Amino acid sequence: MSVCYLGFDMSIIGIESLIYGVDDVELCTRYFRDFGLEQERSDAQEAVFRLAEGSKVVVRSINDPRIPKSKQLGIGVREVVWGVDSQASLDALVLDLQRDRDVFIDEEGIARFFTDSGLAFALRVFARRPVINASVGANASGAIQRLNMPRVWRTRACPKTINHVVFAVPDFLAETTFFRERLGFKLSDYQRGVGVYLRASGSNNHHSLLAINASAPFPGMDGQLRFHHANFGVADIDELMVGVNNMERCGWPKSHVGVGRHRVDSALFCYLPSPAGGETEYGTDSDYVDDTWVPREWPIPLFAYSHWTQNIPQFLENLPEWEVRYLTDGKLPSEK
């Protein structure tokens, strides 16, 4: 059914499309264009953006009949189309899902269904294109990687990948079980009481999907099923900052915490409020992992959140103590 790549069997290889349902298609089209996505086409009903890896962002009105009617509330990503490595893998996933839910297969071969919590997911065969980023070495005293060579001067951010998508889920642990047992996602890390980081089995990204506790004590969490954010991959800190500066010059709202680096996946980040719902994240320099990675539990979630941030929010003013544990059996501990 699958092939072996970098030490694991492939099936779901990552995000093929994010389908947004929004209040204002024209406004959100301009937002994603300023963000750096390459617009493929647009009309009054929808806009389509294509990334270098072949993945897509599709923007439609929240009232468009093509937006799935799900339990999810609010605007944002209303359907995730997951890319699968082969028709054989797709057929096997669909056969298993049909044991306990309806799966609708359209004329393009896209298999659509709802997860246990009510998220609209879909599966389709996806041949991801190779992505090339030129390595730019960092210089420091005693560790010179660039001699007689200036850094690349970038003029615009141009995200090449969709790295992950995040939803607030009421019963996030039960939903995580569905993702792992029925779709083959692998556990990467667990923030106690906050969320579970999952990697598509055919990807090296630290996580392709994050299920957040919808009742976590954070802003915007109201216990309901909602879209939270999507992460778009850029090459380095320079491209990230060029993108952030351009968004501010274009008049879009600034990030609440600015640029930072997570501990949980080592990634540089900047979250920007989005008129399309939730936040849109520039990300780079994340951990890449395979099946030899040992998942961790972070009992103090705020310690996992950031190593540093540009603008320290109130909830991070008192730095929590170090605490992290390895889940050598790959099982999530009880929340009790």
Q: What's the Cα-to-Cα distance from 195 to each of 62, 63, 161, 297, 298, rounded to whole Å? A: 27, 30, 23, 10, 10
Looking at the predicted structure, is the pLDDT value of residue 100 above 80?
yes
Bridge-based pairing of strands 4-5 and 38-42 is unpaired
Average pLDDT of the chain, as a whole number: 93
Looking at the predicted structure, is the pLDDT value of residue 133 above 90?
no
Looking at the predicted structure, is the pLDDT value of residue 51 above 90?
yes
4-129+158-326 folds as 2,3-Dihydroxybiphenyl 1,2-Dioxygenase; domain 1 (3.10.180)
Global pTM reads 0.94
Distance in angstroms (rounded) separating the CA atoms of residues 218 and 220: 6
Distance in angstroms (rounded) separating the CA atoms of residues 207 and 199: 4
Looking at the predicted structure, is the pLDDT value of residue 251 above 90?
yes
Q: Sorting pLDDT into bands at 50, 70 and 90, what band is 204? A: very high
Give the least confident one: 70-84, 226-240, 313-327: 313-327
Distance in angstroms (rounded) separating the CA atoms of residues 117 and 98: 16
Give the least confident one: 94-108, 117-131, 184-198, 314-328: 314-328
What is the distance between the terminal CA atoms of the chain, rounded to a whole angstrom? Answer: 39
Q: Domain locations in the chain?
A: 4-129+158-326
* pLDDT for residue 3: 36
Q: Tell me the average pLDDT across 78-107.
A: 97
Looking at the predicted structure, is the pLDDT value of residue 336 above 70?
no
Farthest CA pair distance, the chain: 62
Looking at the predicted structure, is the pLDDT value of residue 2 above 50?
no
Which string of DSSP letters, residue by residue, matches 219-246?
Answer: TT--SS-EEEEEEEE-SSHHHHHHHHHH
Token pair listed for 211? 């299920």
Return all residues near 118 (Cβ < 8 A) that are at least 6 apart: 70, 71, 72, 225
Q: What percent of the chain has pLDDT over 90?
A: 85
Closest CA to 334 of 286, 301, 283, 299: 299
